[in-house]
A = this chain, B = another copy of it.
């Protein structure tokens, strides 16, 4: 109707289409081509098609009314329109649009949208305070704040484990988890309780109930999990320390996807008292930070004392580099170009079998821990975690026992290979997948890399690198059991490879 209407008509048509989530009209009113821009608090999208994909995934904009409009004509064929909106749910928004006339039709060439933030971002947080728990310091962590993964006990709060039904049935914790208590004593505050993938049984960070926390450096991509909320909280500066756990990569993967530093500690080195487990043979405490120095300072508060031990010779296995996507492998190679290292020619033909053993034992232990509760509640889980627990429920005792034997053999073999040196490998096989892309192969490919430290109970530090396209990725340093502090020192000494301050 208003295809050749005035700017005012077209602006109104746009508002109506937005409120009706009329995607064909919105697509038509945005200029075609790769230069069209649309940005909001979650990031900037470039290109008509990327904007269309975003709209399809979004499922409608919040209901609103335009309460003030400022139109600035720039020549005959271009206009800037700045509009104040009032949201039905409360608060005011702002949008700035550059409209350009394309023949007879006005189209949006660039748009910038602000809406008032919610009280808290429920994708990241379950509860948050200023702070939530005051420090018991002073100590080495003075002035720092912790996003606590919702698997750790915080006195006075429940453990939610990423599942609303579990949260509802959970009792209030009387004492802090050992690690939380230690961090508070070292001078840190608890900022809040951060989201996790359900029962930590995912590497994606897209909780079905609360949504995927944002990934600021890789907009519209998954944040990585399962320590997803802790990682995003650190990326956004909501906290300086993201406390998480790592069973099969739950620290290393969000670190890589978001460009953070992260450590998975030696299995058994840091007490898991007060932490809801997933697979005790592999579960470890871990944390994420935005810089290597702080990653080490947290280690001072949590790790047992240990003198420097072994050497810091970096070992690189081409087979492990090749297990990552080319962009991530190239970023790892670029990192290695700047540091002395030795290439090793390991036989890793058993890797698929090791991964299978890891996944079988992980699943068997997860079902042993949670099967009683989940037995009648599998339908409370998101699809991917549910399918994993369903498979877990069918693992026989024989299969679990066999997996345990294979895990032990793999552990011994991997410990032999790493020896007193430092293995360097990609932290995850790819950059963060797009939110719209839910390919299960990503998990398998990444776990082929992450399972090594998991199987052998070794400490692993993920260091942020960047791909040629500028997306975050990670390289991982793995060393002998107990060498956590050596890895932390090494990470702080290495030149920062992602070029950030």
Evaluate contact between A110 and B80: CB separation under 8 angstroms. yes
The reply to whether A90 and B122 contact each other, CB–CB distance below 8 Å, is: no
Residue of B nearest to A157 (CB): B156
Q: How far is the CB of A33 from chain B (nearest CB, A)?
A: 12
- How far apart sit A402 and B100, CA to CA, in the bound complex (Å)? 72
The number of residues on chain A lying at the interface, defined by a beta carbon within 8 Å of a beta carbon of chain B, is 67
CA distance A43 to B67 in the complex (A): 12
1/0 per residue A64-88: CB within 8 Å of B? 0000101010110010101010111
| Interface pair B191/A119, CB less than 8 Å apart | yes
Do A90 and B40 have beta carbons less than 8 Å apart?
no
* A191 contact set on B, CB distance < 8 A: 119
Copies in the complex: 2
- Least Cβ distance of A465 to chain B in Å? 16
Q: In the complex, which residues of chain B have a beta carbon less than 8 angstroms from the beta carbon of A181? A: none
Question: Would you give the 0/1 interface string for A210-229, flagging 1 where the beta carbon is closer than 8 Å to chain B?
Answer: 10000011010000000000
Closest to A158 in B: B134
Kindly state whether residue A121 has any CB partner on chain B within 8 Å: yes
B168:A40 contact, CB within 8 angstroms:
no
Contacts of A290 in B (CB 8 A): 90
26 A-B pairs within 8 Å (CB atoms) are namely A35-B72, A37-B82, A39-B94, A41-B117, A43-B92, A44-B94, A74-B74, A74-B78, A74-B100, A80-B80, A90-B216, A90-B236, A90-B237, A90-B290, A91-B235, A92-B217, A96-B112, A112-B112, A112-B114, A114-B114, A118-B237, A119-B191, A119-B239, A120-B120, A128-B129, A130-B210
Given contact pairs A96-B96, A126-B129, A127-B128, a sample of 20 additional A-B residue pairs in the complex whose CB atoms are under 8 Å apart: A37-B82, A43-B92, A43-B94, A72-B109, A74-B75, A74-B78, A80-B80, A89-B237, A92-B216, A114-B114, A116-B237, A118-B237, A119-B125, A119-B191, A119-B236, A122-B130, A128-B129, A134-B168, A156-B157, A156-B172
